[in-house]
Amino acid sequence: MKKIFGLFLVFNLVFVLCACESETNAEKDGMISATREIFAMDTYMTVTAYGENADKAVEAAEKEIYRLDSLLSTGNTDSEVYKINSTGEGSLSEDTEKLIEKSEWIYENTDGAYDITVYPLMDLWGFTGDKQAVPDDEDIKRVADVCGFDKLTYADGFIKLGENMGIDFGGIAKGYTSDSIMRIFEEYNITSGIVSLGGNVQCCGNKTDGSMWKCGITDPDNHNDTGSLMGVISVSDKAVITSGGYERFFTDEKSGKTYHHIMDPKSGYPAESGLKSVTIVSRDGTLADGLSTACFVMGKERALDFWRKNSDKFDMVLMDDNRKIFVTEGIAKDFTSEYDFEIVKKRQNCDNS
Amino acid sequence: MKKGILKRVKYDIFLVGILITVGAAVLLTAVFNGQGGEYVCIKTDGEVSAVYPLTENRRVVINGANGTNLLVIENCQAYISEADCPDKLCVRQGKISMKGQSVICLPHRIVVEITGQEQKDNSDIDVIVK
């Protein structure tokens, strides 16, 4: 009898041990993951990482977001950018210097379609605050004349702005931040993760099942309905960033005309280039962010010409005002849509020759 | 007589042993069935506003009808850790982890429920770019 009783005790022990074991295994199989939701840079962000250090990695990412926000904010009186804008000059930290260099590259290579000096124009139109209105033509011309990256100088970590100038990294800061988070993920040996900084997405590696991340691109005409997409792009280790006039806009009461927030630095008016949205896919989040704005301003033909010269750096999905979708060939096989789309080749067809 | 009592005690112990074994087996099944499938479904004003896997640690700010609640998903358990509602009943409802369990904040019209399936459109999409 004692033996049988002893046997039962052993059974019970084994059961309890199994129960503990199965719990830890289940956690391992399901991959440890951590997600943070953060309100910063005037938007809502989510950061997710998978792996053993997931918790630590997302915590470090959150800190980095707050650090960059306090450095680059145009409204925070303690920020480096605020100080530069209010005094017209200032020393550049490592981060702002990198941002200036990247901004200059995009400015020069897109013929000024992306310009960090449009800040006074954004301010004039009211896009830096809550109240937007169409300014007088004269005011627009006056302020547009002040803008231009070529009117600022920087060297040896010091920047000097021209009269009444102002800079804003708003069109590139979120991409730079997601780039930084990817580096943090690497430091913590995270091989799978995804961040969305107010809809600007950057993916680390693949999903935990080894498949690519599926990023749904918002339909510009149905942007309030998250179920409505213009297409889906599958990526690994890439940033996917969209710019469109549907993001921020206002309607002028007098004319009934709608004005969006993407300024054409040359005209001083919101860009009317015939595009509804531009989605850039690139390993470089900072570049993707800046180029989404630049290509939107340039319009389809100029954007595609620019892509042909730089197709090693990025790919893109365009939707024009007639809802026609164009996808560059580098990502065409990873793009799906319920609508028809045209694949743009690097080499134009030579039918005539 | 003494021997008889001893025998009966032994049988009792035997019976207790069986009960413990069955109990452990039931517990084990519950643990196995409980892993992996659950989601935390958040409903505000009766509508599903978000669904998260129970296995992913996270903190979510829920914007309810008259205020906000902080939902924490941690170690396969979900609970409201903070809220600005007057009665704080949701905070006192504690941690939930089993399918069908829920925490409700009436003043904010928020229901946090453990469900068996992800209830989301475009469920194969990982993220929306906008």
Tell me the per-residue pLDDT of A160-187, one tens digit each, with 9 for 90 and over: 999 999 999 999 999 999 999 999 999 9
Give ∠ CA A54-A55-A59 in degrees, rounded to 5. Answer: 115
More confidently predicted of A114 and B32: A114
Contact B91, B66 (CB under 8 A): no
Contacts 24+ apart (CB under 8 A), B61-66: B61/A37, B62/B108, B62/B110, B62/B112, B64/B105, B64/B107, B64/B108, B64/B109, B64/B110, B65/B107, B65/B108, B65/B109, B65/B110, B66/B107, B66/B108, B66/B109
| The two three-digit tokens of residue A295, written as one number | 């290509």
Q: Work out the percent of chain A whose per-residue pLDDT is above 70.
A: 88
Distance from CA of B88 to the nearest CA of A (A): 23
In angstroms, the CA A299 to CA B76 distance is 49
- B64 occurs within a structural domain: yes
Both B63 and B93 in a single domain?
yes
In angstroms, the CA A315 to CA A280 distance is 6
Task: Give the residue from A12, A149, A223, A162 showing the smallest Cα distance to B130.
Answer: A223
Nearest to A15 among B13, B14, B25 (CB): B25
- B123 occurs within a structural domain: no
Nearest to A26 among B17, B28, B36 (CB): B36
| Alpha carbon separation from B111 to B33, B50, B74, B100 (Å, rounded) | 24, 11, 18, 12
At A182-212, the pLDDT tens digits run 999 999 999 999 999 988 999 999 999 999 9
In angstroms, the CA A348 to CA A329 distance is 12
Both B24 and B68 in a single domain?
no
Both B26 and B86 in a single domain?
no
Both B26 and B62 in a single domain?
no
Do B122 and A26 lie within an 8 Å CB cutoff? no
| The two three-digit tokens of residue A29, written as one number | 């199989």
At A243-277, the pLDDT tens digits run 999 888 899 989 999 999 999 999 999 999 999 99
User: In this predicted structure, what is the pLDDT of residue A43?
Assistant: 79
Do A27 and B28 lie within an 8 Å CB cutoff? no
Do A240 and B24 lie within an 8 Å CB cutoff? no
Q: For the beta carbon of residue A4, count every other beta carbon within 10 angstroms.
A: 11
At A216-249, the pLDDT tens digits run 998 998 764 444 789 999 999 999 999 999 888 8
Q: What is the CA radius of gyration of chain B?
A: 22
Give the mean pLDDT of chain A: 89
Nearest to B36 among A30, A201, A233 (CB): A30
| The two three-digit tokens of residue A58, written as one number | 């997302």
Distance from CA of A199 to the nearest CA of B (A): 5
The distance from CA A245 to its chain's CA centroid, rounded to whole angstroms, is 15
Distance from CA of A7 to the nearest CA of B (A): 10
- B28 occurs within a structural domain: yes
In angstroms, the CA A50 to CA B126 distance is 14
Both B50 and B98 in a single domain?
yes
Do A216 and B127 lie within an 8 Å CB cutoff? yes
Distance from CA of B100 to the nearest CA of A (A): 21
Do B28 and A223 lie within an 8 Å CB cutoff? no
Interface test with B, best of A23, A248, A319 (most B CBs within 10 A): A23
Do B127 and A201 lie within an 8 Å CB cutoff? yes
In angstroms, the CA A12 to CA B101 distance is 29
Do B58 and A11 lie within an 8 Å CB cutoff? no
Distance from CA of B123 to the nearest CA of A (A): 10
Kindly state the average pLDDT of the residues A10-32. Answer: 47
Task: Give the residue from A152, A184, A2 showing the smallest Cα distance to A81.
Answer: A152
Residues of A within 8 A of B61 (CB-CB) are: 37
Task: Give the residue from A147, A139, A346, A170 showing the smallest Cα distance to A262.
Answer: A170
Interface test with A, best of B27, B72, B97, B127 (most A CBs within 10 A): B127
- B129 occurs within a structural domain: no
- B124 occurs within a structural domain: no
In chain B, the residue whose alpha carbon lies closest to the alpha carbon of A9 is B17
- B90 occurs within a structural domain: yes
Both B68 and B97 in a single domain?
yes
In angstroms, the CA A258 to CA A279 distance is 22
At B67-110, the pLDDT tens digits run 999 999 998 899 999 999 888 888 887 888 877 677 888 888 88
Q: Spell out the domains of chain A, with CATH numbers in brackets.
A: 212-353 (3.10.520.10)
Do B56 and A34 lie within an 8 Å CB cutoff? yes
Both B19 and B44 in a single domain?
no
Do A199 and B128 lie within an 8 Å CB cutoff? yes
Both B27 and B47 in a single domain?
no
In chain A, the residue whose alpha carbon lies closest to the alpha carbon of B70 is A37
| The two three-digit tokens of residue A164, written as one number | 């009444």
- B125 occurs within a structural domain: no
Residues of B within 8 A of A1 (CB-CB) are: 10, 14
Kindly state the average pLDDT of the residues B8-26. Answer: 75
User: In this predicted structure, what is the pLDDT of residue A27?
Assistant: 43
Give me the domain span that covers residue B61.
Answer: 39-115
Both B52 and B74 in a single domain?
yes
Q: Work out the percent of chain B whose per-residue pLDDT is above 90.
A: 22
At A41-67, the pLDDT tens digits run 877 788 999 999 999 999 999 999 999
Residues of A within 8 A of B24 (CB-CB) are: 12, 15-16, 19
Residues of B within 8 A of A336 (CB-CB) are: none
Reply yes or no on whether the pLDDT at A115 is more than 90: yes
Both B26 and B45 in a single domain?
no
Distance from CA of A87 to the nearest CA of B (A): 35
| The two three-digit tokens of residue A257, written as one number | 């005309």
- B91 occurs within a structural domain: yes
Do B122 and A229 lie within an 8 Å CB cutoff? yes
Both B47 and B17 in a single domain?
no
Both B90 and B66 in a single domain?
yes
At A124-162, the pLDDT tens digits run 999 988 789 999 999 999 999 999 999 999 999 999 999
Do B125 and A36 lie within an 8 Å CB cutoff? no
Do B121 and A226 lie within an 8 Å CB cutoff? yes
